[in-house]
């Protein structure tokens, strides 16, 4: 499973703005078509119409991500949702999140302004899942996430452990960072805002709220408290995998992403190689928007792979 890193600083990279269609352009280029010297991640664009697209992973559960990038929040964000199956760009079955959970779906926060201002972005993908990080506002370290694809499930034969993580789609700019990708549960029983799995581990139809767990010194935001870096005992970097929480159990693990056990140890995009327990791997730091916007967070992404 090849891991590919796409960045707004690449040659021929598409531009992310607060205009209609900008997010679809990014996803088309990274997942489906490739650009410049970067090959595509191998996903399919199954259905589309003007500024609306449905994406499907190359392997795995192959559930669908629908992106409506028409004019949400004055084009500052795009509406996103998942479907188990679809027959057209706006027709599908078993929506996640359900309308009862999120009446208008979730949102991918592209830009703090509805204009042509270019916003930095980074997308890391394999053939089953991608992480897209966007610096929607001009605040260093505040990157918002759109995540879609298969988790690394603990359940045998689990065909519905596909997760969607995004933002509240229609909030004002000042609160659009309630995207809690930076957030973690310290109890292992807490669902988080805007995290949804297609179905429960039992296979019963219907979207379920999810969360992420990491034992990170009792804090609820990644890398905002912890060990001094580097660790005094071995001069190293310590981290934990991020488990997927469903109700009172662990459904699986988020592939390829880790929570540092240090207070924001690296700079944004900094790479570190041969971390203890991951010999031969390179990890890249990504700064995250925290729920409070006061304490910047950070995660580490394995850019070597494979993730599974």
Mean pLDDT (the chain) is: 89
| pLDDT tens by residue, 105-121 | 888 989 888 899 999 99
Which is higher by pLDDT, 115 or 289? Answer: 115
Determine the Cα angle at 121 with ends 289 and 5, to 5°: 110
Q: Kindly indicate the confidence band of residue 294, based on its pLDDT and cuts at 50, 70 and 90.
A: low
The pLDDT score that the predictor gives to residue 291 is 61
The Cα–Cα gap between 44 and 255 comes to 21
| pLDDT tens by residue, 130-141 | 999 998 877 766
Which is higher by pLDDT, 254 or 278? Answer: 254
The Cα–Cα gap between 279 and 296 comes to 28
Q: Kindly indicate the confidence band of residue 164, based on its pLDDT and cuts at 50, 70 and 90.
A: very high
Tokens describing residue 13:
């990279």
CB under 8 A, 24+ apart: contacts of 45-50: 46/86, 47/86, 47/88, 47/89, 48/24, 48/89, 49/89, 50/21
The pLDDT score that the predictor gives to residue 143 is 85
Q: Kindly indicate the confidence band of residue 1, based on its pLDDT and cuts at 50, 70 and 90.
A: confident
231: exposed, middle or buried (Cβ count in 10 Å: 0-12, 13-18, 19+): middle
Q: Kindly indicate the confidence band of residue 171, based on its pLDDT and cuts at 50, 70 and 90.
A: very low
Return the C-alpha torsion angle 250, 255, 257, 261, nearest 10: 40
The Cα–Cα gap between 187 and 157 comes to 27
> Which three-class secondary structure state does DSSP give residue 181?
helix
- The yes-or-no verdict on residue 270 having pLDDT over 80 is yes
Give me the residue spans of the domains in the chain: 4-218+244-253
């Amino acid at each position: 499973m090849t891991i590919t890193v796409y960045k707004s600083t690449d040659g021929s990279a598409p531009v992310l703005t607060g205009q209609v269609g900008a997010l679809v352009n990014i996803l088309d280029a990274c997942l489906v078509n490739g650009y410049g010297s970067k090959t595509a991640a191998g996903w399919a664009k199954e259905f589309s119409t003007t500024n609306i697209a449905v994406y499907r992973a190359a392997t795995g559960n192959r559930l669908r991500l629908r992106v409506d990038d028409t004019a949400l929040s004055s084009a500052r964000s795009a509406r996103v949702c998942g479907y188990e199956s679809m027959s057209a760009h706006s027709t599908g079955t078993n929506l996640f999140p359900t309308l009862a959970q999120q009446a208008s779906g979730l949102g991918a926060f592209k830009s703090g302004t509805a204009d042509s201002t270019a916003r930095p972005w980074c997308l890391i993908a394999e053939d089953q899942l991608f992480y897209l990080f966007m610096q929607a506002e001009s605040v260093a370290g505040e990157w918002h996430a759109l995540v879609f694809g298969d988790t690394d499930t603990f359940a045998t034969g689990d065909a519905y452990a596909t997760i969607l993580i995004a933002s509240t789609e229609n909030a004002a700019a000042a609160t659009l960072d309630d995207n809690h990708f930076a957030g973690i549960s310290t109890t292992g029983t807490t669902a988080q805002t805007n995290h949804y799995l297609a179905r429960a581990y039992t296979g019963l139809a219907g979207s379920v709220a999810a969360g992420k767990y990491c034992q990170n010194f009792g804090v609820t935001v990644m890398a905002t408290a912890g060990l001094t870096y580097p660790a005094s005992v071995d001069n190293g970097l310590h981290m934990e995998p991020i488990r997927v929480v469903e109700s009172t159990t662990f459904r699986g693990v988020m592939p390829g992403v880790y929570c540092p056990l240090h207070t924001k140890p690296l700079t944004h995009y900094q790479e570190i190689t041969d971390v203890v327990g991951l010999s031969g791997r390179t990890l890249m730091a990504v700064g995250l928007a925290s729920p409070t916007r006061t304490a910047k967070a950070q995660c580490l992404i394995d850019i070597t792979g494979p993730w599974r």
